[in-house]
Amino acid sequence: MKLQNEFCCTEDGLLNVSFVFADLGHPNGWRAYIVDAINYKAFSPMRSDRPQCTHTLSEQNDKMKKKIQKLLHRQHRTAGTDDTLYFVECKEKISTLEQLREFVQRWVNATAHYIRYGGMFPMGRLKPES
């Protein structure tokens, strides 16, 4: 399994997010773990930060959580304020690092739009491009 740090931001600078990209191998593909806590309520205290609304999932595999947390600890970083480790939800397998980078950039842009304006994520665009 390969782990690497990545950083993604919107053009307007509203949202800057650090990730750990993980290659989970065949048949699972790539996954983007969110390192920075995101303030979904920056523009509205009514904005939901529930995973269903933000298109994130929490890692349930304790071995994976420990691997990511160990990497972050070596770099003097942490993932959030509690023991929960979130990753970006994707409906389809992401096969390459380049696909993951493009997908995460679209997710960051959609997240920034959601933070600023509310509404729903543009789910049709939150799929990896073939």
pLDDT in tens, 81-122: 567 889 999 888 899 999 999 999 999 999 998 888 888 776
| Residue 130 counted as domain residue | no
How many CA atoms within 13 Å lie on the side-chain side of 78?
A: 6
- Compute the C-alpha angle 112/127/9, nearest 5°: 30
Beta carbons of 49 and 40 less than 8 angstroms apart: yes
pLDDT in tens, 81-91: 567 889 999 88
CA 114 to chain centre: 14
Residue 83 to residue 69: CA distance in whole angstroms: 9
pLDDT tens across 6-57, in order?
999 998 888 999 999 999 988 889 999 999 888 888 888 888 888 888 889 9
Residue 115 lies in a domain: yes
Q: Is 65 helix (H, G, I), strand (E, B) or coil?
A: helix
CB 120 within 8 A of CB 54: no
**How many Å apart are CA 53 and CA 20, to the nearest integer?**
21
Neighbours of 100 (CB within 10 A): 23
Domain that holds residue 22: 2-125
Count up the domains in the chain and report the number: 1
